[in-house]
Structure 1
Amino acid sequence: MTLGPGESESITLTADTSGLDPGEYTAIVSSEDGSAQETVTIGDEQTGPTFEVSIGDINTPIQPGEPIEVDATIENTTDEELTQTISLELDGEILDTVEVTLGPGESETITLTGDTTGLDPGEYTVTVSSEDDSVQETITIGDETGEQPTVTVSIGETNSPVEPGEPLEVVSTIENTGDTETTQEITLSLNGSPVDETTVTLGPGESDTATLTASTDSLEPGTYLVTVASAGDSTQAIVTVAEESDEPGDGGDGGDSESNQTVIQDNSNSQVAESTDGDITQSQAVSQSNEANVSGSTAASDIDFDSLFEDTTDD
């Protein structure tokens, strides 16, 4: 190196550390008439993973043919930007791969998926791997013929009787009796024809209520069968569309008097009907093929008590 009077210059000197053990060393820079030294450290090679992997959510149990979905978080633990391929394996077979690029200290959550078509029911090991780290979880593939989540329905109340043109409202309780979350469509039918629907999502053991409505604009006065149904259950009730009245009844005697009727059905399809008309109470066991809970009010003039009921009063 050549320098004029008072001149200075910065230079870079390098040294090969190949073969040196980790530890502290003294680096000395010397000229013909002086020297300077510094302590330098040669560290251990990185022993931990450069791309660290962890599994978050996983959709187990699943049915055969249903895709497996695994959420995995990948973290770059180094101080430089790196790109690695992340893979999903099921019992050693690669199902999916994703290439991930992360800066120093960055992390990212990815979703890996795999097809389970053709796999037998049972437990399987899923593995998510980077180039230098991996993590495993056990998943269950269920029996597709086994019990599926069941949504049961029941009718709580209706606003029957209604007059023609007045909307008919049916309040239903919906319950998920399974052990997994499910989404199902709940329908309301009137004499077998769908008239309203709603979609519910329920977790295991959860229940909810829904109000379904039907238009009565085109209906004639009379009784109708309403059905509330889920994918695997249904329940029925009889509702009444009453004659349109000009003014409320005065409760007098004769053909305009009102009679209250209640029909209750148990699991044996045996029913008991009671009717109260003034001071007369009549009852008779009746049979009905439709499974339903029925309550309603109708004009006494519309009921043939001689044929339906046995007179139990004392004259």
Structure 2
Amino acid sequence: MIRTRTLAVLLALIATGAVAMQVAAVPGVTAQQQDGPTAQSASFTVDILSAPQSTAPGSTVTVVAEVTNDGAQRGTQPVEFRVGGAVADRSVLTLDPGESQVVTFTADTEGLEPGDYRHGVFTRSNGQTALLVVSESFTIEDFDAPDTVEAGETVTVDVELENPNDFDTTQDVSFWLAGSPVATEDVTIDDEDTEDVTFNVSTEGVPPGTYVHNVFTRDEGEFAEITVEEPGPENASVVMDDQESDGTTVTVDELVLPSDGYVVIHDSSLLDGNVVGSVVGVSEYLEAGEYENVTVTLFDVEGAEFNETELTEDGTFVAMPHNETTGDETYDFVSSDGADDGPFLTDGDPVVDAANVTVAGADENETEAPEDNETEAPAASVTLDDQSSDGTSVVVTDVSVPEGGYVVIHDSSLLDGNVVGSVVGVSEFLEPGEYDEVTVELFDVPGVGFEEPTLTEDQTLVAMPHLETTGDETYDFVTSAGDDDGPYVADGQPVVDAGNVTVANETAG
């Protein structure tokens, strides 16, 4: 409501940093006779009126107006501050043509009941008006703010406000960070009701450090401290080098977790699509960060049952960072059948690294040598070192194909069970033997059409020796949907090695 009463005093300070509210021009004010010969040619107008929206009972308020002489000659006129129509304060200005001057009026709201009051600043021919609400300030009932935030992330602050007045009203509420106001809202609350307000403010560009942040109503405030931390890694990564193991543990050489999680060890059945059942080891719960030389205990995984308690044979194992998704700090991937605590992904594929693990004393567990003159057939093997590529080929460090065949490059979708569709490169036919530095052209595989002719992103690739099973010296694994020219197998698992390939071209992302 607008209370039409004389306000013996009024209005609020709009000094530096105050908010100028929108006001309305009031034409048609009857001009009074002006002293001096310039009365007909000087015309004073109120161009700007800055006034508070609300103030507390009994407070001193200030109104600031800018007055301009739009006439052709110098003139002197009174400028009046009126409340409820009555003059509460007056100044006399002398202005040259086109000259402007800022005039300030102050008043006291002592004795005013809470409510809405109309006021204005007037010359003899022009005026501006505004509305002042005399009210108690909103109070802060609850202030919920984080203690830390990563640089560049958004700070979310929740505030519960209460309107102590017995009428609906609107007041400004602001959020400050590091000594500066960064967000302000006009909040309307029903009489004697509460309202929840949320501020979401980015810390982009705020240097790491500890800062005071706060929420202000008109007359109240709450303070807290927040620490802006260095941003953590954006992507997961893992490196597991070839190593010797005692059969009960393996070591992951380097690990980066962008959020809390684990590093998990899969056996090579992962390459056959056995995503859950291939898990043979998991680290302790790890907070987000960078780690070196993480020891992972094998055959002790929540939800898994094993027929063995230690490795007895050499093999290829895959290290894969997994995310903690349930918040219970317990690795639930196996017990949830893959629904929880899944792997970190980059470009849709799991982040992995593979290594050949030699088991100390494994030779003692091998079967007896063949009798008489029989000789055991040599085993296939392959090594794919980490390397830089131009995106069109990779170099297999060494490969052994005792019965002839090919060395095939699979992308990391192989680890999701995409055995055939993961093939992205194949060598020429290789006669039986051992080879070093074999260059494999990518995206030229019989039976496969590729959308991209080159690698465009850094990724993990898997090298796998394949047999020639049809005798035509043509790689038929893809065209036969996996029936022909399949991989060499050792101990029931494909022979593989993985390497991290960095793409050294302008399109690498």
TM over 0.5, shorter chain: no
TM bucket (normalised to shorter chain) is 0.3 to 0.5
Q: Taking structure 2 as the reference length, what is the TM-score of the superposition?
A: 0.30
| Higher relative contact order (Cα pairs below 8 Å, separated by 6+ residues) | 1
Q: Taking structure 1 as the reference length, what is the TM-score of the superposition?
A: 0.44
